[in-house]
Amino acid sequence: MGLFEQLKDGLGKTKQVFVDKVTEIVTGRKPIDDELFEELEEALIQADAGVDTSLKLVARLRKKAQENKLQEAYELYQVLEEEVTRILTRGEHRLDLEKGRLNVVLVVGVNGVGKTTSIGKLSSILKNQGYKVMLAAADTFRAAAAEQLEIWSRRSGVDIIRQNEGSDPGAVVFDALQAAKSRQTEVLLIDTAGRLQTKTNLMEELKKIRRVIERDIPGGPQEVLLVLDAATGQNALSQAKLFLEAVDVTGVILTKLDGTAKGGVVLGIQNEYQLPVKYIGIGEKTEDLREFEPEAFSKALFS
């Protein structure tokens, strides 16, 4: 199955509550009026695009309708698709990786979002792209976290640095940095403990890990990726806000898009926090972790 077909299939539930609802609203009614815009606003909010994003999108639709002297409701459909694409294409969606240097990628997020699995899949993808990859098991709190990452390291054929459960995560990261430099590693993927964004002590630990990297690697970490579960909808936006404040997140991996109707959250993530989505999860297989392609995503959503 090609990327476009897989996206169409994976976004099926989101399409039902978002695009199909919009289609229902604009089809079969002639005038463009305030009631129409209110219904579109409600549809966007229900699709988990976020209140702020929904209000701004509808404001843009109003402006475009006036500028282009649109009169019939169905004419707004294409305008909405264009505006959604405009939001999605903001920012740099490719990872900031360079051959010949050590690229440090710190991966963060709350419990249960698929963080360790995403790291494992990403290690395989990057190795297949020709990078020498290493994993660092800095989640020393969750039982079997390092074992889970070690299974991925064997599956992907990449090195892993780990210590005993309960070890200092900062020490694990320091050891991993030294090993990565000595082995001429090009990408070091660091797994961290899943944490509730409300736990101040765990957020402080994350800041400490970042300081360890910054002291040892000029310009590092090159990426801080926040893993979010699309199915959590609006809660993903609050997670993005707090992690962004704590560790200066550079991009998002949005998982479990194929099983939720809340895929509209991608709009809120990009619009409200200017956080580019870099990878999306649209299935269980390694190859189902895909680089985010804004135009293809929008086309699949509105097709």
pLDDT above 70 as % of the chain: 96
3-state SS, residue 108? strand
Backbone angles phi, psi at 223, to 5 degrees: -140, 140
Cis peptide before 169 (omega within 30 of 0): no
pLDDT band at residue 3 using 50, 70 and 90 as cut-offs: low
Q: Burial, 218: exposed, middle or buried (Cβ in 10 Å; 0-12, 13-18, 19+)?
A: exposed
CA trace torsion 213, 215, 220, 226 (10° rounding): 40
Q: How far apart are CA 296 and CA 201, in angstroms?
A: 40
| 8 Å CB contact between 155 and 124 | yes
Q: What is the mean pLDDT of residues 270-279?
A: 93
Our separate counts of H helices and E strands in the chain read: 13, 8
Q: How far apart are CA 302 and CA 18, in angstroms?
A: 9
Measure CA of the first residue to CA of the last residue in the chain; give whole Å: 17
Q: What is the mean pLDDT of residues 277-293?
A: 91
Output Rg (C-alpha) for the chain, integer angstroms: 21
On the question of pLDDT at 67 being above 60, the answer is yes
pLDDT in the model for residue 199 = 62
pLDDT in the model for residue 196 = 63
pLDDT band at residue 18 using 50, 70 and 90 as cut-offs: confident
pLDDT in the model for residue 198 = 56
On the question of pLDDT at 7 being above 90, the answer is no
64: CB partners within 8 A, 6+ apart:
70, 79, 83
Q: Which two tokens stand for residue 152?
A: 């991925």
Taking the CA atoms of 134, 181, 290 and 226 in sequence, report the sign of the dihedral they define.
positive
pLDDT band at residue 154 using 50, 70 and 90 as cut-offs: very high
- Buried residues in 86-114 as b, exposed as e (16+ CB within 10 A): ebbeeeebebeeeeeebbbbbbbbbeebb
Q: Which two tokens stand for residue 171?
A: 């020490």
DSSP state of 27: T
Instruction: Write the DSSP string, 177-203.
Output: HHHHHHTT-SEEEEEE----TT-HHHH
Q: What is the mean pLDDT of residues 214-234?
A: 93
pLDDT in the model for residue 242 = 86
Q: What is the mean pLDDT of residues 2-8?
A: 74
The predicted-structure confidence for 164-191, as pLDDT tens digits, reads as follows 888 999 999 999 999 999 999 999 999 9
